[in-house]
Structure 1
Amino acid sequence: MLSTRSFRAHLLDARLAGAVATTREASLRSYRLFAARDPRVLIGIDPEQSWDVRDLIGLMADRCGVSADPAYTSGHDVIDPELTLTALEAFAERLAEVAQRRAPVLFGTGHPHRLLGFYAELADALSAAGCEVLTPAQGRCVDITTRFGLRTHNLDYVRGVALVRVLDAERPGCEPGAHTHSPLPVRTALAAAAEAGGPLPELVVGDHGWVCGAGQLGFEAIGLADTDDPALFVGEAEGVVSVVVPVDDAVRSDYYRPLTRYVLNRACLSQ
């Protein structure tokens, strides 16, 4: 079993926490866009209160450990590993509760190149525990606005984890899927599940729009988020999202394997 001390060291060594690759400039740009309620950064959240940049810096300092100084405008952002560990405990607790009830779950990621393996291992463990891992709207088309304009994507599932692929842009099996922040895929999946008469997920696990979109619709949602993803932390602060784990979401995929082992151990779901 991976000890907390060893895992904390891994978080820092892999730059999942500590000084991360995400820059302060990128985070501040996201905070400004969120304050202006830009849909590209809201990613499915409809905030109840007004959040200005100073409010967001304070929130992200509290939830992630970034600098609370508005005058700090360049360099690398920082994630406090203690905040990551605390959030992972709550994340694992939610998984354990769902496993005990053998409740249906939905997994989805907008970061398939990095995080597909992490979610797939969790999906395998919950399936082994008796949970139904849902795959609604398989193959359904979703039109998502990207920096290249409106692009049609297909909703797909790999090892029980939802993702989207740009239509005709990838040869099957060549890429794990497209990077997206959009909440449209989870809205499509949940609508399809409802139209089919269920079951509906008791828990949605993922990142980006998968968490925000599901949470805004009233589903319990938990996930991972980087320092330039304020929407998830605002959702958590306003009670729309249950748990957000602050972590760099774009390091090498194999660096998340200890994260998987740590969560499954804490949730008593290790095989």
Structure 2
Amino acid sequence: MTGPGAPSRDELRAHLLRHYIAGDVATPRQNNLRHFRKMAEGDPYYQFGLDLGPWTYEETVAMMAGLAGTSPDLSHWYGDDTIDVERTLDALDAMGDRIGEAARAGSTVLLATGHPGALLDVLYVPLADALRAAGCTVPTPAEGWSYLSDEGRYGPEIRTIQYNKGVAALEGDDELRHTHHSAPMEAMLANLADESRYWPDLVIADHGWAGAAGEAGVSTVGFADCNDPALFAGHVLGKIEVCVPLDDFVLPRHYTPLTRYLMARADLSA
């Protein structure tokens, strides 16, 4: 289904390839492999709050080739890597179908992003607005909750959950911050459980926000770059319902056609 201003699948395919959201992406192969190895070794920072169990490095490389379209060649150490655009489009279709189901049911939906600079205003906020317009509840639990993060550029930094039109992100030193951490979503779900209301029917998120929700048993759909294997592994294990492979840090305006396509697939008004 397409709506006003929404691209067709063929049009979106061309757009994703033109702007390196899929196809030949800017994430270096060596960075991908480093992250694959870190996840396989059980490094919590690369597991996004998911209990993934044992994975070998070789299994991780093969899994990412199958789900994201990265190179399966273990001898491909350096240079460019790829995301298969057809896998991106198929996952967007599946995500749109799940969001549409939630919208028709008037579900409670949590939204959160660890990539606010690229994805907040052009992807998550339009989804939150459209879901509210469709009759969904978009709660804002644990607003103002803070913790000491080890992700600060110049050392540990206090980071706080802030909401922009219903979408959670982390703020530190008066700026929105990138994060892999799962602790903020864990705090949000704990807050909802304490209040005994608004338990989410669906979470739309990325990074540790998605991982923590999936680990808690919440129906979760998420976005992940090809150097973020944890959500794909979570999908294999049945903890993440849909994982869309894409480069998650191109110019924000380039995600607008993707958002329109996703909302049209979900039968949501822009």
* Distance in 1, Cα, partners of 2:148 & 2:51: 21
* Distance in 2, Cα, partners of 1:269 & 1:199: 22
Residue number in structure 1 paired with 2:166: 160
* Distance in 2, Cα, partners of 1:69 & 1:104: 42
Residue number in structure 2 paired with 1:255: 254
Q: Is the partner of 1:121 in helix, strand or coil?
A: helix
- Deviation at residue 44 of structure 1 after TM alignment: 0.3
Residue number in structure 2 paired with 1:208: 207
- Deviation at residue 270 of structure 1 after TM alignment: 2.3
Residue number in structure 1 paired with 2:3: none
* Superposition TM-score, scaled by structure 1 size: 0.95
Q: Deviations over 1:88-114 (max 9, x none)?
A: 010001100100110100000000000
Residue number in structure 1 paired with 2:92: 88
Aligned pairs, number? 263
Q: Which aligned pairs between 1:114-263 and structure 2 lie closer than 5 A?
A: 114-117=118-121, 118-146=123-151, 148-166=154-172, 169-170=173-174, 175=175, 177-263=176-262
Residue number in structure 1 paired with 2:78: 74
- Deviation at residue 188 of structure 1 after TM alignment: 0.7
Question: Equivalent of 1:58, from 46, 58, 62?
Answer: 62
* Distance in 2, Cα, partners of 1:61 & 1:270: 34
- Deviation at residue 145 of structure 1 after TM alignment: 2.2
Match status 1:14 vs 2:19: yes
- Deviation at residue 139 of structure 1 after TM alignment: 1.0
* Distance in 1, Cα, partners of 2:23 & 2:96: 21
* Distance in 2, Cα, partners of 1:61 & 1:165: 34
- Deviation at residue 197 of structure 1 after TM alignment: 1.8
Q: Is the partner of 2:200 in helix, strand or coil?
A: coil
Unaligned runs of 5+ in 1: none
* Distance in 2, Cα, partners of 1:22 & 1:230: 13
* Distance in 2, Cα, partners of 1:42 & 1:145: 16
- Deviation at residue 32 of structure 1 after TM alignment: 1.0
Please say if residues 142 and 188 of structure 1, whose CA atoms lie closer than 8 Å, have aligned partners that are also in contact. no
Q: Is the partner of 1:106 in helix, strand or coil?
A: strand
Moved over 4 A (4+): none
- Deviation at residue 19 of structure 1 after TM alignment: 0.4
Please say if residues 144 and 184 of structure 1, whose CA atoms lie closer than 8 Å, have aligned partners that are also in contact. no
Please say if residues 15 and 21 of structure 1, whose CA atoms lie closer than 8 Å, have aligned partners that are also in contact. yes
* Distance in 2, Cα, partners of 1:255 & 1:58: 29
* Distance in 1, Cα, partners of 2:221 & 2:147: 23
* Distance in 1, Cα, partners of 2:149 & 2:47: 15
* Distance in 2, Cα, partners of 1:144 & 1:187: 14
Q: CA-atom RMSD, angstroms?
A: 1.0
Please say if residues 142 and 155 of structure 1, whose CA atoms lie closer than 8 Å, have aligned partners that are also in contact. no
Residue number in structure 2 paired with 1:32: 37
* Distance in 2, Cα, partners of 1:220 & 1:119: 17
Identical columns (%): 42
Residue number in structure 2 paired with 1:5: 10
Residue number in structure 1 paired with 2:48: 43
Q: Is the partner of 2:150 in helix, strand or coil?
A: strand
* Distance in 1, Cα, partners of 2:149 & 2:17: 35
